[in-house]
Chains A and B, each alone.
Chain A
């Protein structure tokens, strides 16, 4: 063990004393959290160009109310009342009367205006939209555009169109104009946490607001952080072992330590590097949440699980990386084999959003109990409010520990032979023989 620690110490210091490590600390979150950063940047620098929408009202009554609702919403959202600065685009609606040329000709003319970017979209309101007893075809409201991606204009317009039509219907019924806005005003659901009884005082605590951070951001950030730590630790391990092998450093080391000690030292060093990086990010995240007044949303137990899973995942994948690195004789071989190391991290990331949307479905439960995926998927389920049934994390952890033991045992046998095996990449049958016969 002393020799393993000595190798670990050397490898750890060699890793963290490099500029690459410091740069990686900064760059890795940008790579992994690039999506969030992009959204934040888009929000900070929104497109303020005025949106223009043509409205063709076949109902002869809804348009005026839609225009009114849209105007109020546009003025309300476009300018920051505190600073007076424009923070969102303005929306201008243009009333287009249906002429004698016919509906199709009008649609074509409006489509051409959209294509020439004179308009962003046009809306057609069915002639029976104010009469609930009218045929469904006459109650249709259509929205036409050539905008790609996530169409925010449609989301924005849905409110004023809906409100305007409802106000118009109330007007048809002769409701007092002063009451109409109040009657159609929307109601929002405020998300709150569950309450608990304080065991010391016996008092029932107050519910607190629980926002996106608790429901999505914190679980997702934890999963991304773990994926980042594991990938930053295990993939370089593979190439480092191959380098040690091809530069014959491994032969020198194996003259002094057993293969198991050498592999253990390298795995320990990678784990220590990951723990160092994760401590940096966890502390940083804690201070950010504290600054935002959201630190109360963190569950201390989840950090214990985070580090238990991180340790298990690191030991498992770094052992695998060491074995694969020992099999490779060139950096190219190592690059090909790296896919096998990152697969247990990347595959769960593909399904993590699906798991978060239905955390207790059969599929989510099954995937999170699959040992290679447990560290990421069980963690995200545990981090979500409510969490999985209490037994599941323990069953998942038992599976992980058994898998870790098996992989370390097999990896050590492959490592011992592979590290002194030079030439072309061994065949699968050969590797299997190494693993079985040692």
Chain B
């Protein structure tokens, strides 16, 4: 059962194609991550799922149904930017949004979430008095209070401190355990690796990656070595069979050319300096992202 099915969806704004022939399926009960550079089409895709935009071509199905133009009461939606009435107090605001979406009184649910995310003492304060992180949490509560089946979160961790970020992550995972399907977009690749069952990368409106983290990493093979050596970045530069070296601080990440033997790289490195750590790993999501959308890829695209 798919919670969301997009089939050959295209959306243009004037001469700009924001989403180009995109197809994807989101299994029910999973956490599905959208990644991609700014302006790649993530938000437009989410807005089409929520019915804020209608696709120019293609179809969007939610839990098997086409619902173009219909209200989507079982979707919880957290937009990227804060959309809260500044002059309203937190509790009435959440009750308003909750009732608007679910059609029922949500007082108890609001209290439960305010308590859970540490905002109970702010319930009577006006939204304009909240910090950016608090506003983000309030907006998250507004999305989850009506007990949605599908939760769409556009950049949910923006503006949150690590503690709040962890609390939100835990809340999202708890919702998944309760059967809620979650689609989230993020620029935090580490968070995507930790949370997402499936990852979709959109670049220039087109899908460039789609699958589990493992399957995506498999596409790139074991072409990455992490080393810890005296001399740091300088000692790892210029090794035969290594096409790129990235300095991670305590570690250096080396990307090998196709067919290169890691043992050969290790031997050459040991000959140069004292090696205290060495491991062959799959490329990180961050690395894959940069390979697809980094400056080198941009240059290649424009060449």
Contact = CB atoms under 8 A, between A and B. Distances in A.
Interface of A: 2-3, 6-7, 10, 14, 247-258, 261, 420
Of all A-B residue pairs in the complex, the 10 with the closest CB atoms, nearest first, are A252-B83, A255-B77, A248-B83, A256-B101, A248-B81, A256-B100, A251-B79, A249-B83, A251-B83, A258-B71
Contacts of A250: 83
19 contacts: A3-B103, A14-B85, A14-B87, A248-B79, A250-B83, A251-B79, A251-B81, A252-B77, A252-B79, A252-B142, A254-B50, A255-B50, A255-B52, A256-B71, A256-B97, A256-B146, A257-B100, A258-B70, A261-B71
Given A251-B52, A252-B142, A258-B71, A3 B100 contact: yes
A250 B70 CA distance: 17
Contacts of B86: 247
Decide if the interface of chain A is mainly helix, strand, loop or mixed.
helix
Given A249-B83, A252-B79, A257-B71, 16 more contacts: A6-B96, A6-B100, A14-B87, A14-B88, A247-B83, A248-B79, A248-B83, A249-B84, A252-B83, A252-B142, A253-B100, A255-B52, A255-B75, A256-B101, A257-B100, A261-B71
Contacts of B83: 247-253
B224 interface: no
A249 B101 contact: no
Contacts of B100: 3, 6-7, 253, 256-257
A261 B96 CA distance: 15
Contacts of A261: 71
For A6, A247, A253, A255, the residue with the greatest tally of chain B CB atoms inside 10 Å of its CB is A255
B278 interface: no
Contacts of A249: 83-85
A343 to B, nearest CB: 30
A250 B97 CA distance: 12
B85 A420 contact: no
Interface string B86-122: 1110000000110111010000000000000000000
A14 B84 CA distance: 14
Contacts of A2: 103
A128 to B, nearest CB: 79
Given A420-B47, A420-B52, A255 B85 contact: no
A255 B101 contact: yes
A202 to B, nearest CB: 60
Given A252-B97, A258-B71, A420 B53 contact: yes
Contacts of A252: 77, 79, 83-84, 97, 139, 142
Given A255-B50, A256-B100, A248 B82 contact: yes
A253 B155 CA distance: 18
B69 interface: yes
Interface in B52-85: 52-53, 69-73, 75, 77, 79, 81-85
Contacts of B53: 420
Contacts of A247: 82-83, 86
Nearest to B73: A256
Nearest to A262: B100
A14 B127 CA distance: 14
Nearest to B146: A256
Contacts of A14: 85, 87-88
Interface string B138-163: 01001100100000000000000000
Contacts of A251: 52, 79, 81, 83
B99 A6 contact: yes
Nearest to A247: B83
A17 B87 CA distance: 12
B302 to A, nearest CB: 25
A249 B128 CA distance: 13
Contacts of A257: 71, 100
B79 A255 contact: yes
A17 B100 CA distance: 21
Given A252-B84, A258-B69, A420-B53, A10 B96 contact: yes
A254 B84 contact: no
Contacts of B101: 255-256
A86 B77 CA distance: 74
Nearest to A11: B85
Contacts of B85: 14, 249
A258 B51 CA distance: 9
Contacts of B81: 248, 251
A256 B145 CA distance: 12
A255 B72 CA distance: 8
B135 to A, nearest CB: 11
Nearest to A9: B96
A248 B139 CA distance: 12
For A6, A247, A253, A256, the residue with the greatest tally of chain B CB atoms inside 10 Å of its CB is A256
A253 B81 CA distance: 13
B279 to A, nearest CB: 45
B136 to A, nearest CB: 13
Interface in B1-38: none
Contacts of A254: 50, 52
For B52, B69, B81, the residue with the greatest tally of chain A CB atoms inside 10 Å of its CB is B52
A82 B75 CA distance: 78
A196 to B, nearest CB: 54
B150 to A, nearest CB: 12
Contacts of A253: 83, 100
Contacts of A7: 100
A248 B135 CA distance: 13
A262 B71 CA distance: 11
